[in-house]
Amino acid sequence: MIRQTAQREAIRTVLTGTERPLTAAEIHQRASHQVSGLGLRTVFRNIKTFAEEGWLVKLDYPGQPLRYEWVEGRHHPHFICYTCKKTYNFKEEAPDVPYTSPPGFRVEGQEVVFYGRCPDCGGA
């Protein structure tokens, strides 16, 4: 069990109140509005703690900055905009795809990612 602090609560509020995964800089910028003097190192330390506790996951896509999102016990697809490079959550739950690993490999997860243009960048 992790101790509740004003900084930790601000970071959690930012992560649970967003529609898309955020970079550490975005988390810091948004949480700083709630807690003055919040340092980027504090954000990273809390991100690490939340991830260790299983509340937060890291999204590491090629060509993208590392992003973080609050998980709610369900797997959902993501959308990456070609223009602005933002990553969005899709609310629909993604089905698990049965897959047998080649010998010597152990699959520990899967990800469904769609690409295109978001509404702000000329999506339909």
Mean pLDDT, the chain, as a whole number?
A: 86
Whose structure tokens read 């490079």? 85
Q: Specify if 10 maps to a domain.
A: yes
Q: Residue 21: name the closest of 87, 79, 83 by CA.
A: 87
Q: What length is written for the chain?
A: 124
Q: Are 57 and 69 in contact (CB under 8 A)?
A: yes
pTM of the shown model: 0.70
Q: What is the pLDDT of residues 17-70, one digit of tens each?
A: 988 889 999 999 999 999 999 999 999 999 999 888 888 888 888 888 899 988
Under DSSP, is residue 19 helix (H, G, I), strand (E, B) or coil? Answer: coil
Q: Specify if 23 maps to a domain.
A: yes
Q: Specify if 120 maps to a domain.
A: no
- Which domain covers residue 48, as residue numbers? 6-70
Q: Specify if 99 maps to a domain.
A: no
Q: Residue 14 maps to which CATH number?
A: 1.10.10.10
Order of strands across the sheet that contains 113-116: 87-89, 78-81, 113-116
Number of domains in the chain: 1
Higher pLDDT, 72 or 81: 81
Q: Specify if 66 maps to a domain.
A: yes
